[in-house]
Structure formats: structure tokens, C-alpha cells
Structure 1
Amino acid sequence: MEFQDDAFVLGARSHGETGALVDLLTRDHGRILAYVAGGASRKMKPHLQPGSRVLADYRARTTEHLGSVRLEPVGEGASALFDDPLALQGLTAAAAVAQGALHEREPHPGAFLALEALAEALVHREVWPAVFVRYELGLLGALGFGLDLKVCAATGATTNLVWVSPRTGHAVCLEAGLPYADRLLALPAFLVSSRNPLEPGDIGKGFALTGFFLERHVFHPMDKPLPEARERLVEKLETAGLL
């Protein structure tokens, strides 16, 4: 089994004296775990940080064996964000969510594209937290748990969509949901339409929404909590006044 593919590093750990095991999200082949010869070297370590973009040249004897991979760095990767700790935490959290949510060797091109869009947005402090929420929505969709945020599940209305049903993941309009407001999840307007401006509190509502469904549909069935890196990101965003 051999292929070459674009990839993001999701994580890495030492293996032996000089090598490393790297967890990659590839564009066309999904998430793969592979051995990197020389991965423990000072030269290679910066390119194995979570969120680093690489070109992966992968080889394995069979699909059941641990393969080996040669990595060619693409762009600056995580090092471009060293002067922005909050954005760096965003990239780390995004990698951790993908690593925990995606199963190995299952192609998810939508998940790759969502992470790619987020990585490109991280240089824009005023917008990337909203893109992170959309990234998590993209992951849910790639895993078959997409939310329907365009039409009210109760009335068919396409306006005044302010809540999401925690049971169905469908939007609920103001009129239909008002009697049940304490049981519904808040739906920030920027997730209904990209034309809607961000309002104070919208990012926090977005993180609560995607976190609820990620926990229910993805992490809880695997008996895992949401990644600590994501929790730290939410705390740092709150401290920065961006929730």
C-alpha cells in the first residue's frame, strides 16, 4: 500500500531512540498513524507539531501493518502562530478534536477541508473563533451527524431561527420554541447565514452547540471526554473576551 497525499499533523510521540509515531489527517485517505524515521530529531520536531501542514509519502506492507511515512513540510505551519498563543491554541484544539473524533483509515475529505479553512483563517483574530465553530460543524457533518440549521423543524419557517433541538439537531424558530426555551440550545445567527453579523455572546453559544453534539454523538459513545485542548481554548477565549 503506497500513496502520496496532503496532510495535517494531528499529533506525534517519540518511538524508539530516533523515530516518532505521527498521527495524520490526509485529504483523501483519512486519518492514519505512521512511523517517521528521524522524527525525534531537532530538525524534524518543529514539523510534527499539531496542525502542521505536510506532504505525506506513505508506505505499508498491508493495510493491517503500521506504515512508514516521509514528510515534506508545506508552509510555515504552526510556527507561523508562535507570536499568537491564542491562535496556536486554536490550531492545537482543532487537531485534538479531529484526532479524537475520526477513526483511522476512513476517508473524510470534508473534515480535511474544514481544518484547512480554519488553518488559513487563524491569522485573522476577529473571525477565526467563528470559523472554529464552523469547523466543528463540518466534522459533525463528515461523521454523519450534521445539524439542520436552515429550517424550523416545527413550522418550516426560515426566519427567526434562534434555537436548536438537542434531540434532533434541527433549528427551531422563536415562535415555536418559546414555550420550550429552557430545553433548547441557543443558535447564533452567524450559523444560520454567513451574511449575519457576529453579536456579543455568539461565539460562546456556537461552542456550546457544537460541543453538545460532539460529546453526545462522537466522544461519549467512545467513552471519551471532549479533548482537554478544546476546553483550554474555550477558557482562553473567555479570558480574552471573545466568547
Structure 2
Amino acid sequence: MEFEDDAFVLAARSHGDTGAVVDLLTAQHGRRLTYVPGGASRKMKPHLQPGSRVRVAWRARDDSQLGSARLEPSGDDVSQLFDSAVALAGLSAAAAVVQGALPEREAEPGVFAAMEALMPALTDDAVWPAVFIRFELGLLGSLGFGLDLESCAVSGIRDDLAWVSPRTGRAVSRTAGAPYADKLLALPPFLLGSQAAVVEGDVGHGLALTGHFLEAWVFHPRDKPLPPARDWMIERLKRSGLL
């Protein structure tokens, strides 16, 4: 079996003297762990950083095997982010969350598209944290765990939604949720419409929201914690005054 596809590098580790085992998110063939001959070379290492965009030519005797792949750089590399430690932390967190959340060999074109949308945003530290939250919401939706933020779970109204039930993932209006505010998750207004501005506190609330459901619905059932890279990103955002 063989295919060619676009892909993002999620992780890579040396294997033997010259090769590397690379975890890829492909556009049409899902997450793939594959052996890359020459992946440990100086020429290839810069293109095996998490978030690097590549073109992959993969082959194996059958689809269940590790297989081997030839990778070629495609598009901008991650070196454009080297001047921003917080953006690099965001990129590492995105790659780690995808790697931990997705099973192998199941096509996830929606997750690939979400990565495509996140990458250019990472060049602007004032913008990408909010895009990252939308990226995680999209990941939850692609895995079948989309949140219902259309109307209040209690009253059915669509206005003044301010909370999310940590149990059901459904929105709750400000009035209906007020008596239970200490038990509900805050819903940042920017997640309800593209025109809403991101104000102070929204990024922290948004990351708490997506983090709760990623942990409860995706990682915990697999006996996994949320990736440490995500915690490091949050710490970087806090230090930079972006949380």
C-alpha cells in the first residue's frame, strides 16, 4: 500500500543511527506513525519540528504496518516563530493535543483543516490564543464531542448565554445559571460569534472550558492526562500577560 498526502509533523524521535520515527497528521489518511530514513540528518531535522508542514510519500506492505515515508518540506516552516517563545509553546501544545487525542489511521480532515487555520495565526500573539481555543473546540467536534452553544439548556433562549454545564457541554443563560455559577464553566462571548471581541479573562476561561472537556471526554477515558505541553503553554501565556 502507498499514498501521497499533505501532513503536519506532530512529533519525531531518532531511530537507529540515521533514521527517525515521525508522528504525522495527514490531510486524508489520519494520524500516521512512520519511519523516515535519513530523518536524523542535519538536513531533515529542521523539518521534523512539531507543526512543520510536509508532503509525505508513504508505503508499506499493508495498512497495519509502520511503513516508511519520504518527506519533503511544504510551505512555511516553523522558524518564523522562533522569536516568540509563547507562540512556540502554542504550537507544541497544539501538536501534543492532536497526537494524544487522535487514534491512528482514522481520517480526520476537519482536524487537519483546524491546524491549517491555527498555523498562520501563531505569528500574532494578540490573536492566536483565541484561535487556539476555537481549534480545541473544533477538535472536540471532530471527535464527536462538540459542545452545544446554540441555546440555553434550561430555558431554550438563545440570548445572554454565559455558562456551560461541565456535565453535558450545553450552554446556560446568565439568568438561569446564576444560582449555580460556582458549578458552571464560564462561556467567553467571542465563542458565540465571530464579531465579539476578546476581552480580559476570555482566554483563561476559554482554555479552562476546552481543557475540561478534552480531559473528561477524550483523555481520561484513555487513561491519559492532558499533555504537559498544554500546561506549559498556559504558564507561558500567564507570564506574558496574555491569559
Give distance in 2, aligned partners of 1:90 and 1:150: 28
Aligned partner letter, 1:148: D
Give distance in 2, aligned partners of 1:104 and 1:96: 14
Structure 1 residue 81: Cα displacement:
0.7
Q: Number of paired residues? A: 243
Match of 2:96 in 1: 96
TM-score (norm 2): 0.98
Q: Is 1:228 aligned to 2:228, yes or no?
A: yes
Structure 1 residue 76: Cα displacement:
3.0
| Aligned residue runs from structure 1 range 52-201, under 5 A | 52-201=52-201
SS of 1:242's partner is: coil
- Structure 1 window deviating more from structure 2 (216-225 vs 70-79): it is 70-79
SS of 1:213's partner is: helix
Match of 1:214 in 2: 214
Structure 1 residue 110: Cα displacement:
0.7
Structure 1 residue 124: Cα displacement:
1.7
SS of 2:100's partner is: helix
Match of 2:5 in 1: 5
Give distance in 1, aligned partners of 2:55 and 2:12: 16
Structure 1 residue 66: Cα displacement:
1.2
| Aligned residue runs from structure 1 range 28-39, under 5 A | 28-39=28-39
Structure 1 residue 89: Cα displacement:
1.1
Aligned partner letter, 1:228: P
Q: Is 1:43 aligned to 2:43, yes or no?
A: yes
Unaligned 5+ runs, structure 1: none
SS of 2:3's partner is: strand
Q: Is 1:27 aligned to 2:45, yes or no?
A: no
Give distance in 2, aligned partners of 1:79 and 1:227: 23
Give distance in 2, aligned partners of 1:185 and 1:226: 18
Cα RMSD for the two superposed structures: 0.8
Give distance in 2, aligned partners of 1:158 and 1:242: 29
SS of 2:194's partner is: coil
TM-score (norm 1): 0.98
Aligned partner letter, 1:240: S
Render the CA deviation track for 1:126-171: whole Å, top value 9, x for unaligned.
1100000000001100100000112111111111100000111010
Paired-residue identity, %: 65
- Structure 1 window deviating more from structure 2 (98-107 vs 57-66): it is 57-66
Match of 2:238 in 1: 238
Give distance in 1, aligned partners of 2:231 and 2:109: 26
